[in-house]
Amino acid sequence: MAPEVILQALIALPFAVAFAVSAALAPGIIGMLKRRGAGQVISQDGPQSHLAKQGTPTMGGLIILAGTFAGCLAAVVASRNPKWVLNTGALTRHSDLAAVLYLATGYALIGMLDDYLTIRQPAGIRGIPSKPKALMQAVLAALFLTWLAFGRTEGFVPVLVVGGHQILSGVWYWVFACAFIVGMTNFVNISDGLDGLAAGLAALAAMVLVCCAIMLPWGVRSECDLTLYGLLPAVAGACTAFLWFNAHPAKVFMGDTGSLAIGASLSAAAIVAHKEALLVVIGFVFVLEGLSTAVQWAVFKFTRITTGTGRRVFRKSPLHHHYELSGWPEPMVVARFWILGVLASVAGFAGAVWRIW
């Protein structure tokens, strides 16, 4: 079997399996969440149209996780077929896949705890406080990077290259990588505020990332464990199936359970493949959403200290709420942000073809 056929199959199979499993399990998981009272708590200071979403089942990231694990399992089983083993033996190595799945699972558990505390609010606690939450994420990211530096059989070169130029290396690269995982993960989390927004953008980003990493002639076919790239199509397939139930009006929300796991998967996969800059480009909407929140917070804090009155750049952050409060209907905001995601993906793929990132 030709290598090109193998690579195409490694993309198509986990996507299809993840989609089928997530779609099949979604009604049961949604019903279970309803029975257990896992309903979303809507903030009173958000858009008034969102108050109708109060009680919609959250923690739907379990649907995405189930499909992702099933798709990865399919990729591993398929890679054991002797007809599919390339001369490099890359298809028989599964360490990268396992490491990224461990990281994603750890982030999903953090998200699950945060969702639980938000729903139940024991002793008046709503969610995990931001600083402990960020610390837990940083610790998990550091553990993943420690394995990458010392435990990976094939080794790992700690270098960030953009446009053929070495930007970071050595210790500074590891600092960047830790911030990259935590930052991109939270950018995905922040984007999960409108029906279908984060799931659609994540599916798109995952597929473009895997296509650039594997299908281009100068990709990383032999350098990395190719079953890792069973993970990205699996994430895309699971998110696409989830979108069926998450589209407006949503029957379920992914919650932090899903958004943190997705963000960790995308960022860790990009690091292993040395495609960090590419993920920033194709994940432009995630970055835009995250930066809008950071700018809003910084300006408000600064102006409150200097003038005594906090001022806001946007009507409300993240950016999608600003446009909602400006009069755009929610489906319009989602559709237009998806369009931005498509344009960013086209730019990312073109840049990868031209070896810009």
* 26 and 17 Cβ atoms separated by less than 8 Å: no
When pLDDT is averaged across residues 270-274 and rounded to a whole number, the result is 91
Does pLDDT of 88 surpass 50? no
For residue 22, the enclosing domain spans 3-275
What's the domain count of the chain?
Answer: 1
261 within some domain: yes
Is 111 a domain residue?
Answer: yes
The pTM of the full predicted model, rounded to 2 decimals, is 0.92
The pLDDT tens digits of the residues spanning 223-262 come to: 567 677 789 999 999 999 999 999 999 999 999 999 999 9
> Would residue 244 count as lying in a domain?
yes
Largest CA distance in the chain: 70
Distance CA 106, CA 30 (A): 22
pLDDT cut 90: percent of the chain above it = 68
Cα(287)–Cα(282) distance, integer angstroms: 10
Query: Is the dihedral angle over the CA atoms 273, 71, 22, 240 positive or is it negative?
Result: positive
One-letter amino acid at 123 equals A
DSSP strands (E only) in the chain: 159-162, 165-169
- Residue 165, classed as helix, strand or coil, is strand
In a domain, 319, yes or no: no
Which of 61, 33, 95 lies closest to 235 in space, CA to CA?
A: 61
Please tell me the predicted confidence (pLDDT) of residue 86.
Answer: 47
Q: Is residue 318 part of a domain?
A: no
Residue identified by tokens 């999903």 is: 108
**CA–centroid distance for 30 within its chain:** 21
| Nearest to 187, CA basis, from 108, 47, 288 | 288
Contacts of 230 (CB under 8 A, 6+ apart): 10, 13, 14, 71, 72, 74, 75, 76, 78, 79, 97
pLDDT tens digits along 6-53:
566 678 899 999 999 999 999 999 999 999 988 877 766 666 667 778
pLDDT digits (tens, 9 = 90+) for 127-157: 899 999 999 999 999 999 999 999 988 889 9
Other CB atoms within 10 Å distance of the CB of residue 1: 11
Q: Report d(CA 147, CA 128) in Å as an integer.
A: 27
Residue 281 lies in a domain: no
